[in-house]
């Protein structure tokens, strides 16, 4: 039975498999994508990865696929707070699953790639210039734009048994505009931190990377709080501002 929990796992796994897959394709040794224009390929693929994940699961869970989306909608009263922990758990599990599948797919290329920074980059984000204050602002602003835009795109598309509250999400009609929103955020605002704008997208794959049997792992946990708290802060600010403007 396709429950919202299972749908969020599947949708987030598809998102990460396709999104991390394009990074692996342009970053690892002896792939067909090696040396190609990374910015265009990566931002385009991540945008349409969001489309695929949301389109497939939107009718079952609203295709949040991102704790920032879930929390932002809850702050505005468009989503039930009691479902937030379940959704976030599903999103983290899905992100780990998608990342692991991507690793298995490209495992031969991982084995011959020596640049550990490039390998870590196929799992999680890292700043172009390491300045935690500005990195935090970048993730906050990028996520604010994403969530504030989604507020005007999402519709009351989720029917959950036993819930009287009208729950909003991203259905099949909303999946494409959200994908375009992610695409333009990546092209315009992603140059500083790699635009995680999704705590599950960064934390789950970073944990998978930490668990890999590699000798020279550099998971960079000292930075990992930024792509978690930055997006959550951006989502909260977007929700508060939306409530003020639309009151």
Q: Read off the pLDDT of residues 105-139 as tens digits, 9 standing for 90 and up.
A: 999 999 999 999 999 999 999 999 999 999 999 99
Q: Residue 163 has what pLDDT?
A: 62
Provide the pLDDT for residue 167: 87
Tens of pLDDT, residues 152-170: 999 887 776 656 567 899 9
Q: What percent of the chain has pLDDT over 90?
A: 86
Contact assessment for residue 65 and residue 91, using Cβ atoms and an 8 Å cutoff: yes
Q: Indicate the burial class of 231 (C-beta count within 10 angstroms; 0-12, 13-18, 19 or more).
A: buried
Q: Where are the domains of the chain?
A: 4-246
* pLDDT given for residue 50 in this prediction: 97
Percent of the residues in the chain that have a pLDDT greater than 70, as a whole number:
97
Q: Which two tokens stand for residue 58?
A: 């939107």
Q: Name the token pair of 79.
A: 């989503």
Give the whole-angstrom CA distance, residue 178 versus residue 154: 9
pLDDT value at residue 162: 58
The model's pLDDT over 33-91, given as tens digits with 9 standing for 90+, comes to 777 667 788 999 999 999 999 999 999 999 999 999 999 999 999 999 999 999 999 99
Assigned CATH topology for domain 4-246? Glycerol uptake facilitator protein (1.20.1080)
């Amino acid at each position: 039975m396709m429950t919202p929990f299972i749908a969020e796992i599947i949708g987030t796994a598809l998102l990460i498999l396709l999104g991390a897959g394009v990074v692996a394709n342009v970053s690892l040794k002896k792939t067909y994508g090696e040396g190609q224009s990374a910015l265009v390929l990566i931002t385009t693929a991540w945008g349409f990865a969001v489309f695929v994940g949301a389109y497939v699961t939107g009718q079952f869970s609203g295709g949040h696929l991102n704790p920032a989306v879930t929390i932002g909608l809850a702050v505005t009263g468009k989503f039930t707070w009691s479902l937030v922990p379940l959704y976030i758990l599903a999103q983290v599990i899905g992100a780990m699953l998608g990342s692991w599948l991507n690793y298995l797919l490209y495992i031969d290329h991982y084995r011959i790639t020596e640049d550990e920074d490039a390998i870590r980059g196929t799992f999680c984000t890292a700043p172009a210039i390491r300045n935690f204050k500005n990195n935090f602002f970048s993730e906050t602003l990028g996520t604010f734009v994403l969530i504030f835009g989604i507020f005007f795109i999402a519709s009351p598309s989720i029917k959950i048994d036993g819930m009287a509250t009208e729950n909003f999400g991203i259905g099949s009609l909303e999946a494409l505009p959200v994908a375009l929103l992610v695409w333009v955020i990546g092209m315009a605002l992603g140059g500083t931190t790699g635009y995680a704008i999704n705590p599950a997208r960064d934390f789950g794959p970073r944990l998978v990377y930490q668990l890999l049997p590699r000798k020279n792992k550099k998971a960079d946990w000292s930075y990992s709080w930024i792509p978690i708290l930055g997006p959550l802060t951006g989502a909260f600010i977007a929700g508060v501002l939306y409530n003020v403007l639309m009151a």
